[in-house]
Structure 1
Amino acid sequence: MSLDEFEELARRAPETVWLEFIAGRLAIKCGPDGNRSEILAWLQRVFAQDDLGPWLYPFRGLRTEVDGAGRFRADGALAPARHFAGHGEWSSPEGVLMAVEVTADDVDTDRHNRVEKPHGYAAAGIPVYLLIDRDDCSVVVFNQPEDGRYRREEKLPFGAAVKIPDPVNITLNTEPLKEFVD
């Protein structure tokens, strides 16, 4: 399937069906369950404490991978306030500070969230990728993208203080995540 064919299919899909184009393949993204929604709402509250700071935009379509050949619908995209004003469904990753994914109860979660998305976000130059992994109750911070890979990866258990490096520069107390494990 070509990128143009994917975008046409994505435009015609019902609002309840979220499509992604990962590593040249069509993927269907699971919608949020209640706990996944609560995790994203918790993160939005964390970042909303500073009126002038960045905002976490849920389910933002981003052009990813090498030369923008992928289309990921990030569970969250951290960017300056009003960053996506005037954008269409798929935005350039330029200016995005961090992409966030929360694992879903989905057979493709391992391949998509733990393998393909770190590569795609790094190739797009997104400085930080935060994976909230409900399967093993951990938070993984990927950073320092270089040559299509993140050079650094740190995995910590739910409950730990997780340092999110620049350009985000925040420490998350992940204790509340323990409430949202399926």
Structure 2
Amino acid sequence: CLVSERELDHIEKHIYRAERARGLRDHKYRLLPQRIPSETVFPKILTLRKEEKTETIQKTHKAKTKKHRAAWAKEQIKGHQDQMIRGRELTEQRSERLRAWKMSSPAPPLHRPATHKEEEKEFEQITAYPIAQPYQEALIEVTIQMEKSRKEDNVKKPLRRELLSMPPFLRSQLEK
């Protein structure tokens, strides 16, 4: 055997699916009855008189005519227009209510944005000494113009203690 059973199984399933897709088998994988072209039977044509035709043959449901389609389209358009008109009326009523409510309440005062005055910057001249000096005897001085910081005035300096307090456990260690 050149092909394993598993592959044969896959091939059979594939064939079944293909036949089912083509309509050769039904949903339970049974072959549908096939007609041989030589056995095809043509329908018998009955010739009836005009009176018999109208009595025996049922009237088939005709597709809607152009008049019906045009009438339906007009109906749809009219319904749509009615909806649009109703919507406009509702929005107008809503806007009128809002206008009346706004007119009855007093107008809020106009708030003008506060104009910020440009703060004038103060500069001070500072003498600086570069870190790398070529000669130790004659130091190079550089005068720099720096902006005065206004935060210096507001900075709280911590209280200075001249002597640090000794924790009690260290005191006992020193006494020994």
Shorter-chain TM range is under 0.3
More strand by share: 1
| Higher RCO (CA 8 Å, separation ≥ 6 residues) | 1
Please report the TM-score for the alignment, with normalisation by the length of structure 2: 0.15
Q: TM-score, normalised by structure 1?
A: 0.15
